Amino acid sequence: MTRQRKIPTGKKHKRVSRAGVTKSLFSANTYYAHTMPGLEKIAWREVEQKLPASTLLGFRTMREQNGFLIFGLNDDFLPLLKLRTVEDVFVVLASGEKLPPDREGLDVLAALIKDQVNWPRALKIHREATGYRPKPGTWTTFRVITRVSGRHPFHRKEGQYRVEKAIQAANSRWVLVDDDSMLEIWLNIFEREVVVGLRLSNQTMRHRAYKFEHLPASLRPTVAASMVLLSEPEDDDVFLDPMCGAGTILIERAIWGRYQQLLGGDIRREAVAATLANVGNKYKPIKIRQWDATNLASIPSGSVDKVGCNLPFGQQIGSKTENEKLYEQFLAEMARVLRPGGRLVVLTGDFHLLSHKLRAIAAFRILEIVPVTLLGVKAKIFVLVRQDS
């Protein structure tokens, strides 16, 4: 149930007097996307591929919660909602830099909303993205989510309160609620910089509608999509995930574009069942089997073009001791099934061990290593190429 929340009556504040404090950091037609921390540059590669008219404006990180990709786009923005590597998409409402290092920063936050936000334009973009159109005589509900990085002379809630008050002053028929709002506005404060955004995406962008079955340590879809992008998908790919879990990497590869064949499997019976449930009758041709990833006897040598795999971190799944032997045997088997020039993209939290094992085998060359934070856990994506024998 949506609970209406009144903005408390506070003391009147002086108008901002510092010159230039409300100057916009970003111009109109600026958007930003949330990613898992560390995947901002990977997301930009997808944006470049799918929206070539876009312009990179920068990257940010909010603690270990989200990465930020900020970019300009004067073209149709709706394709942004089909991106695979990002968690959410926002249109920038207001922005500013050189936030005063004292409590006058609260006045600046209010002034950003008052002086910069073009509400008719923002609501038009939101309507095109979501289809939401308020009915005559009804109230529009909104809420503000605030995230703060660094130390500031005011509390996070104080900043949120000033922004809420400024929004309602500009939109007298809007109602502030705690949840289930029609409009969701995010206040992001990075040290001395402020970015305010209106969310355009919904939860299916990050959680995906195909995930009917979940498993412990199941891979986040946007991370799986990032791994697919790093594999450099091609129309004639034979793509393998030898430890497929709930099938997330395989499905993201299928959705990404054309391929010749998808192959997947897992040693756990429940994982194979979860993959089959999530795949259903889609994504053909695809073969899912129960197998040991270190001994794929059914796959001929040199027959696979790309491999994407989420290796056990040795925490929720497996152990550090088990990984010692598993990683070595896994790399040897991938060296067998991959063709020369084929790519192996693996994610692991046990990255020191993987680095050690790679030094002991001459079959792979490291193309790239991408650090990523998954719900507070440090991990790395290794992009490897199978070298000629």
Q: Which residues have CB under 8 Å from 308's CB, separation 6+?
A: 224, 227, 228, 231, 239, 240, 241, 249, 253, 345, 346
90 and 198 share a domain?
Answer: yes
User: 332-369 as b/e, with b when 16 or more CB fall inside 10 Å?
Assistant: ebbbbbbeeebbbbbbbbbbebbeebbeeeebbeeeee
Same domain? For 215 and 200 the reply is no
Q: Which segments of 207-354 are extended strands (E)? A: 238-241, 261-266, 286-290, 304-310, 338-348
For residue 15, tell me if it sits in a domain.
Answer: no
Nearest Cα to Cα of residue 283 among 236, 246, 251: 251
CA–CA dist 367, 345 (Å, integer): 10
Total number of domains constituting the chain? 2
What is the per-residue pLDDT for 10? Answer: 46
pLDDT tens-digit map of 333-367: 999 999 999 999 999 999 999 999 999 999 999 99
Whether residues 61 and 179 share a domain: the answer is yes
In a domain, 176, yes or no: yes
Considering the domain architecture, whether residues 34 and 101 belong to the same structural domain is answered as yes
Question: Domain check: are 68 and 125 in the same one?
Answer: yes
Tell me the mean pLDDT in the region 103-124: 95
| Residue 250 domain flag | yes
Question: Are 188 and 221 in a shared domain?
Answer: no
pLDDT for residue 4 is more than 60: yes
Asked whether residue 245 is domain-assigned, the answer is yes
In the predicted structure, residue 11 carries a pLDDT above the cut 50: no
Segment among 88-92, 135-139, 297-301 with least mean pLDDT: 135-139
Of the candidates 54, 69, 56, the one whose C-alpha atom is nearest the C-alpha of residue 222 is 69
- List, in order, residues 6 or more apart from 155 with CB less than 8 Å away: none
pLDDT at res. 128: 96
> Does 257 share its domain with 321?
yes
Do 221 and 166 sit in the same domain of this protein? Answer: no
Give the model's pLDDT for residue 133: 85
User: pLDDT digits over 152-173, tens only?
Assistant: 999 999 999 999 999 999 999 8
Question: Tokens 């796959």 appear where?
Answer: 299
Lookup: tokens for 89: 């998409």
Kindly indicate the confidence band of residue 17, based on its pLDDT and cuts at 50, 70 and 90: very low
Q: What's the distance, CA 300 to chain centroid?
A: 35
> Cβ(379)–Cβ(228) under 8 Å?
no
Does the pLDDT value for residue 196 go beyond 90? yes
For residues 133 and 343, what is the distance between their CA atoms, to the nearest angstrom?
Answer: 46
The pLDDT tens digits of the residues spanning 248-263 come to 999 999 999 999 999 9
* pLDDT of amino acid 333: 98
pLDDT at 283: 95
What does pTM read for this prediction? 0.92
Banded model confidence at residue 377, pLDDT cuts 50, 70, 90: very high
The CATH number given to whatever domain includes residue 339 is: 3.40.50.150
d(CA 247, CA 249): 6
Asked, for residue 2, whether it belongs to a domain, the answer is no
Q: Do 169 and 249 share a structural domain? A: no
pLDDT band at 13 (very low <50, low <70, confident <90, very high): very low
Radius of gyration of the chain (CA): 24
The pLDDT of residue 3 = 61
| pLDDT given for residue 260 in this prediction | 98
Residues 58 and 89 in one domain: yes
Domain limit, last residue, from 204, 223, 249 = 204
Determine the pLDDT at residue 2: 57
Domain that holds residue 255: 208-386
| CATH number of residue 186's parent domain | 3.30.2130.30
Question: Does 23 map to a domain?
Answer: no
Domain boundary pick from 204, 228, 260: 204
Q: Does any domain span residue 10?
A: no
Q: Are residues 312 and 191 in the same domain?
A: no
> Does the residue 226 lie in any domain?
yes
- CA proximity to 240, closest of 290, 283, 288: 288
Choosing from 179, 204, 229, the residue where a domain stops is 204
Do 198 and 219 belong to one domain?
A: no
Compute CA 276 distance to the chain's CA centroid, rounded to the nearest angstrom. Answer: 25
**Model confidence at 314: pLDDT above 80:** no
Q: What percent of the chain has pLDDT over 70?
A: 93
